[in-house]
């Protein structure tokens, strides 16, 4: 039986209906004003006092960081290389079977509670073979979200195995709930030999790579190869259309042109950049060059609404210009992610319109000021985005979150995470820093 949510405000960043209804099963069947609603025997829920928007897309995260929360790292951190070596590379190396699965459960559960229904992940773990399928099982099958996965190939790992894992997962038959990238860590951790092997295996798959996250990535590249990071990736023929370049913080004009002419995207993660003390992204540069931008959280949080706010405020400060980033930029970023996810997954996402997948967020909201299609995004951004907790979340019409709580199966699995994390922490201690 199709479901109908009634007496609700509907807003998909394009259309605004104040007192409306939406009928859906896996896909949205009908949307309209209450005066046109006709009950054809639907399962009806009155959602007065709520607003419905489409589920959000997180453009870059690390599911493995789920087990970093509260991690007692006792070694001194002086620069970005230390952050990688002393923290992330010790933690991800300790992840195996059960931990990979449970990190997926934790991350997907927390993301969906924050309104994210599609996750683009960048994965690394000590166990390589089959790790992406494990993640996909956790995120897409057990929790019920959509996801894109890849393994961070780098010289830290058995390169052949990492390449094979990406290839195998790219070849998996897709069903609208998941897709794949070819994952690469970053220029500084990839030798010439490795990049040649990647090129030989890549075909037309888009890559997903950290590019110029810190000045160290550029210094390393210029010192070893006498060129900039984007020049190096282009020289190796790796910049396939739809590739995701994460951060692109320390790039110059020429590199921005390289990103543009290869039809790649940039995924920004401003909170992570500030936390790692590597800089603030130059949004104005991407906009001026017409480079599509999406937003992620880099695994630092499990949300993106706060990232959109951070990006706005940080961009204002960086350029000392209130007009350097506005609500039209917020919408451009959200829309770019919807369009990209729709293309990669082969389904229609991002609109509350007939024929689109029913990935929906129901958020209780009583506007304290007039709200209409002109200012609805302002209401969301300033009224809801800083503590964004949808009451109900649907993905493909299935109720994943109800009254802020994840479904029972997910809760049971989530409860096992703490013990698994404890084991990982003990292992990383033994390995030493």
Which parts of this chain interact with Zn ion (CB under 5 A)? 298
> Between residues 185 and 379, which has the closer beta carbon with respect to Zn ion?
185
Sheet holding 178-180, edge to edge: 56-61, 116-121, 146-149, 178-180
Q: Cβ 298 to Zn ion, closest distance in Å?
A: 4
Q: Is 1 helix (H, G, I), strand (E, B) or coil?
A: coil
> Between residues 195 and 246, which has the closer beta carbon with respect to Zn ion?
246
Strands 360-364 and 293-295: unpaired
Q: Which residues have CB under 8 Å from 284's CB, separation 6+? A: 315, 319, 324
Q: Which residues have CB under 8 Å from 221's CB, separation 6+? A: 187, 188, 227, 228, 229, 232
CA distance 120 to 4: 30
> Between residues 142 and 298, which has the closer beta carbon with respect to Zn ion?
298
Residue nearest to Zn ion (CB): 298
Q: Cβ 47 to Zn ion, closest distance in Å?
A: 36
Q: Cβ 258 to Zn ion, closest distance in Å?
A: 20
Q: Cβ 140 to Zn ion, closest distance in Å?
A: 21
CA distance 200 to 414: 39
- H or E segment at 128? none
Crossing angle of helices 159-171 and 192-202, rounded to 10°: 20
Q: Cβ 371 to Zn ion, closest distance in Å?
A: 36
> Between residues 71 and 365, which has the closer beta carbon with respect to Zn ion?
71
> Between residues 217 and 298, which has the closer beta carbon with respect to Zn ion?
298
DSSP alpha helix (H) spans, 186-252: 192-202, 215-225, 229-235
Q: What letters, b where the CB count within 10 A reaches 16 and e where it falls short, cover 170-200?
A: beeeeeebbbbbbbbbbbbbbeeebbebbee
- Give whole-number Cα distances, 49 to 7, 14, 16, 112, in Å: 8, 20, 15, 21
> Between residues 122 and 356, which has the closer beta carbon with respect to Zn ion?
122
> Between residues 208 and 357, which has the closer beta carbon with respect to Zn ion?
208
In degrees, rounded to 5, the angle at the alpha carbon of residue 26 between the alpha carbons of residues 137 and 378 is 95
> Between residues 2 and 215, which has the closer beta carbon with respect to Zn ion?
215
CA distance 19 to 14: 16
Q: Cβ 186 to Zn ion, closest distance in Å?
A: 9
- Greatest extent of the chain over all pairs of C-alpha atoms, in Å: 69
Specify the length of the chain in residues. 433
> Between residues 314 and 401, which has the closer beta carbon with respect to Zn ion?
314
Q: Cβ 213 to Zn ion, closest distance in Å?
A: 7
Q: Cβ 412 to Zn ion, closest distance in Å?
A: 29
Q: Cβ 41 to Zn ion, closest distance in Å?
A: 48
């Amino acid at each position: 039986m199709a479901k109908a949510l009634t007496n609700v405000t509907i807003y998909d960043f394009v259309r605004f209906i104040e007192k409306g209804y939406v009928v859906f099963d896996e896909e949205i069947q009908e949307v309209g004003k209450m005066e046109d609603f006709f009950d054809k025997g639907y399962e009806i829920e009155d959602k007065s006092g709520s607003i419905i928007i489409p589920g959000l897309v997180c453009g870059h995260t690390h599911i493995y960081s789920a087990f970093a929360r509260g991690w007692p790292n006792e070694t001194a951190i002086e620069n970005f290389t230390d952050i990688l070596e002393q923290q992330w590379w010790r933690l991800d190396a300790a992840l195996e079977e059960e931990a990979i699965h449970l990190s997926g459960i934790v991350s997907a559960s927390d993301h969906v509670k924050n309104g994210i229904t599609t996750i683009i992940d960048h994965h690394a773990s000590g166990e390589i073979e089959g790790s992406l399928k494990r993640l996909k099982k956790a995120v897409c099958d057990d929790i019920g979200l959509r996801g894109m996965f890849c393994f961070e190939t780098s010289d830290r790992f058995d390169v052949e195995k990492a390449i094979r894992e990406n290839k195998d997962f790219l070849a998996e038959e897709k069903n609208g709930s998941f897709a794949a990238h070819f994952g690469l860590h970053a220029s500084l951790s990839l030798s010439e030999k490795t990049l040649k092997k990647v090129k030989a295996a890549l075909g037309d798959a888009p890559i997903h790579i950290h590019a110029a996250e810190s000045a160290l990535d550029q210094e390393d590249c210029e010192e070893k190869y006498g060129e900039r990071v984007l020049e190096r990736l282009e020289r190796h023929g790796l910049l396939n259309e739809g590739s995701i370049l994460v951060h692109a913080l320390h790039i110059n004009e020429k590199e921005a042109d390289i990103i543009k002419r290869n039809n790649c995207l940039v995924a920004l993660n401003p909170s992570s950049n500030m936390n790692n003390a590597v800089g603030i992204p130059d949004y104005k540069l991407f906009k001026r060059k017409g480079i599509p931008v999406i937003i992620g959280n880099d695994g630092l949080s499990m949300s993106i609404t706060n990232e959109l706010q951070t990006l706005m405020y940080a961009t204002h400060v960086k350029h000392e210009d209130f007009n350097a980033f506005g609500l039209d930029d917020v919408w451009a970023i959200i829309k770019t992610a919807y369009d990209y996810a729709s293309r990669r997954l082969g389904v229609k996402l991002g609109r509350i319109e007939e024929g689109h997948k029913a990935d929906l967020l129901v958020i209780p909201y009583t506007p304290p000021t007039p709200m209409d299609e002109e200012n609805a995004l302002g209401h969301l951004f300033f009224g809801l985005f800083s503590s964004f907790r949808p009451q109900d979340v649907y993905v493909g019409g299935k109720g994943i979150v109800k009254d802020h709580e994840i479904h029972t199966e997910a809760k049971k699995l989530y409860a096992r995470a703490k013990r698994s994390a404890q084991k990982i922490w003990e292992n990383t201690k033994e390995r030493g820093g």
